[in-house]
Structure 1
Amino acid sequence: MNLSKKQAEKLVKGCINNDRTAQEALYGLFHAEMLRVCYNYLPDKELAKEAFNSGFLKVFQSIKSFDIEKGVLGGWIRKIMIYTSIDLCRKELKFNTVSIDTQDTEDYFIAPQVLEKLYFEDILQNIRTLPFATQTVFNLSVMDGFTHKEIGEQLNISEGTSRWHLAEAKRKLRELLETLANTGTQPKERSEKNK
């Protein structure tokens, strides 16, 4: 959501003053986008809604700390939603520590000609078939640009474990999406699970 600096400033001031109209406007402007952010990390709809509601509560409680001169309001809210989702992920996830040689973990890719044959919904649906922990690391790394060090700090895992989950996500996604693009169907074991 692109707001002018003046619009953002008016909304922020209104929220600081507990103006119900400003709070409703802020919520309405960012509702759909921020709910999608939460769904990226928490595919369970109830958990995503919990993170979303907790995130907006944090937004309203800490809006006094937002500096209009140093950041974009939407980016600030998004960051709160990501960290709120991560906090809830921590409660829901149990990561296994993995020791592997991580030199080859970044070599997986999905060819552009494969991606051209797919819709966004196909890709998102297949991301959601990944194990929860692997999906979370993938989202943090690929969707939101976190480094393995940052992911490790946020999820209380080692950088090696983060790299393994990312490599595993890329490997599985490549397999799933190539099969889907070439045949128009998901691999047998996945499609049977989805019935």
Structure 2
Amino acid sequence: MDLSKKQVTKLVEGCIGNERTAQETLYRHFYAQMLRICYRYLKTKDLAQEAVNEGFLKIFQHIKTYDAQKGDLGAWVCTIIIRTAIDYNRKELKFFTEDYNDQDTDEYFIDPDILSKLYAADLLKTIQQLPDATRVIFNLSVIDGYSHKEISTQLNITEGTSRWHLADGKKKLRAWLASPDNSLQPTDNTAI
């Protein structure tokens, strides 16, 4: 259910006026999608739910800054939720800080036969098994389309560190997905 421009205007004005029905409508409209996004960044569903709720609190506190001329309400909400999820676990993330200068991180190939057997839920489950820092960078880059420069700014790391985590995540996912027993369990659980 997409919101029309008129509905968005009315909803935003209601939230600015602290109207509970408008806030509830906004929350219910975006909740499921935002929970799925947070779950990509956080280890447990409980943490994801906490991040969503904290994100919506920020949304309601700052709704007056939303400008429909600059973009879609959904994109604005999504940006706040992603940043909240990242902030939520930033203190716990440990980044490998050696620069990575390989220019072609996409040189590896996953056999299409493997991909055709996967469902989105399986892939999401596999991504969840990546080490925390690698999972966050993989999601920001591959799923949400952020550049290494944007990731490095958001996470206060170097672009090389971002590239290394992305390459490492792709390498681990490739190995797990190509394993003959179709086991999605990581072989290396060391913290990065």
Return 98-107 or 87-96, whichever deviates more.
Answer: 98-107
Within 1, Cα distance between the matches of 2:74 and 2:100? 38
Instruction: State yes or no: 1:8 paired with 2:8.
Output: yes
Contact 2:99 2:158 in 1 (8 A): no
1:104 Cα deviation after fit: 4.1
1:67 Cα deviation after fit: 1.4
Q: Output aligned runs, 1:64-75, within 5 Å.
A: 64-75=64-75
Aligned length: 188
Q: Output aligned runs, 1:21-170, within 5 Å.
A: 21-170=21-170
1:54 Cα deviation after fit: 1.3
Q: Secondary structure at the match of 1:80?
A: helix
Stretches of structure 2 lacking an aligned partner (at least 5 in a row): none
% identical equivalent positions: 57
1:46 Cα deviation after fit: 2.8
1:70 Cα deviation after fit: 2.4
The structure that is helix-richer by fraction is 1
Contact 2:100 2:163 in 1 (8 A): no
Within 1, Cα distance between the matches of 2:117 and 2:63? 43
- Structure 1's 33 and 129: CA in aligned 2 closer, same or farther, altered over 3 A? same
When normalised by structure 1's length, the TM-score is: 0.89
Stretches of structure 1 lacking an aligned partner (at least 5 in a row): none
Instruction: State yes or no: 1:186 paired with 2:183.
Output: yes
Q: In the alignment, residue 186 of structure 1 is paired with which amino acid?
A: S
